[in-house]
Structure 1
């Protein structure tokens, strides 16, 4: 008989506690030590056919089985469950534990200890997680300034949280660690930012003193819609855009050419940058934008 025929249906897809399966008579200890089951964490197993090494959801399910009752998934793992992917391949699952809770460390878990009142805990997608507000608050006050802003912008863009509510939440916790960082992040946050790289490009320009600038500006000419641009100085008719890899696709490229020609006909200068421009050559990127702004300022009549 095939091994799959002996697999209990309730254990065929998701991680489970081995001790509970044995106590329920579904498996034996000897069966758990066989090739059908993979041990993910202490006493947590999954069927070999259901295992995907880089599937963050599987690891969230596994870690949740080990959490004390007053702990939750948090940080980037909670954001991922809310539909906002801030992860890099192989990232461990972030879990938040109250200061009195105990859990043995594991390479696939990133354990954070912090006060976790009842109002900051919820369940989402069947798992214990920090609330959307607590998740955004934590991501906005830890790590680097740019990564904190990327996280908050992404959560705002997906409407996981709203900016006024997050500001109120942070203000009520002004003495928590990382509060100076999240205050700065909330002052810079832009719910209209459409991608992490767009956020990074916008912050690069703001830090260079080239603001203020408008996100997702609609360009109209002769009363007709021309295009929506990522970042703009509308009075000077200058646009800055981030081009991701999808812009290299043939159909997208054709649309980009027609769109760029329409913007130029409307009198706009459009500067387009890639990830390499933002991450590897930030000085050159800033210099090009600064030059365009200076040229337009020089050509604009003073009154």
Structure 2
């Protein structure tokens, strides 16, 4: 019975350059053409045990091996590396190449041709990536308006970038394509927003002309013996009218979370709060219904 070929430790998990591995004597071209290895890109291979078709980080590792000096992983892929996953399914790796480089986009790599300053590129686990500030600047002006606000909110919430720094960078790059949109996004941005759907919900109501909402509002009540007590935190609120808006994600269906939600909801209602709960279907498909319900609640509480 033949033994399986030994896998060099250096090639066991991460993508690598086939030509460099051959020169180093770690593998042969004949081995790389065998079933133990997967060709990802021209000259870029990974061991079959380390290959995961939808692992964006693996593809970032692979693409980074092909980048020339002055290039970087950027845009949504950079945001992904910074901890913000807004990638569409089967997304390519987004890269920025300097103007002197030439490379066509492909199903696996989306190329943006523009020059980056040295200070706009950093290293993330060994990969060249646009800084958090440059990443936020690019996404905020290039994505569609709603997606741009979602990205900026998420990067602010994770503290990848600070709002004053983004505003200052924007002022220094006034006149660049998309900066008019980014300037509006900066005025709408909310670092306390905890999810893309919260951002989308807030933007729906803003665009409908409703009053500004308070994000992540702490609600307190009065206990007969203990005095002032914390009842819960709501996603969005109109404190003056005691109206709370909650986005219900899938995690709310888990038994323990559901039980806590019921207890919190009962406590809020007992304290005189009206709680409106919305799902992804509401936010993505029925924004007019959301506006109608919230407008009605404000009118009712305003009387």
Same fold (TM over 0.5): yes
Gap runs ≥5 in structure 1: 299-303
17-26 or 99-108, which deviates more: 99-108
Cα offset, 1:35, TM superposition: 1.2
Report the equivalent of 1:38.
Answer: 38
Distance 2:140 2:218 in 1: 29
Secondary structure (helix, strand or coil) at the match of 2:169 reads helix
Given that residues 15 and 44 in structure 2 are in contact (C-alpha distance below 8 angstroms), is that contact kept between their aligned partners in structure 1?
A: yes
Is residue 199 from structure 1 mapped to residue 195 from structure 2 by the alignment?
Answer: no
Residue 254 (1) aligns with residue 255 (2):
no
Write the distance in 1 (CA, Å) between the matches of 2:39 and 2:97.
23
- Tell me what 2:296 maps to: 291
C-alpha displacement of 1:184: 0.8
Partner Cα separation in structure 2 for residue 98 and residue 149 of structure 1:
27
* TM-score normalised over the length of structure 2: 0.96
SS of corresponding position for 2:95? strand
CA-atom RMSD, angstroms? 1.1
Q: TM-score, normalised by structure 1?
A: 0.96
Alignment of 1:161-172 (within 5 A): 161-172=161-172
Paired residue secondary structure (2:110): strand
CA distance in 1, matches of 2:9, 2:263: 55
1:218 equivalent to 2:218? Answer yes
Q: Distance in 2 between matches of 1:84 and 1:112?
A: 20
Instruction: Report the counterpart of residue 225 of structure 2 in structure 1.
Output: none
Question: How many equivalent residue pairs?
Answer: 297
Between the aligned partners of 1:236 and 1:115, the Cα distance in structure 2 is 50
Task: Please show how residues 3-82 of structure 1 align to structure 2 within 5 Å.
Answer: 3=4, 5-82=5-82
After TM superposition, which residue ranges in structure 1, 4 or more long, deviate above 3 angstroms? none
d(CA) in 1 for partners of 2:211, 2:109: 40
Q: 2:233 aligns with which of 223, 228, 232?
A: 228
**Corresponding position of 2:276:** 271
Distance 1:214 1:266 in 2: 18
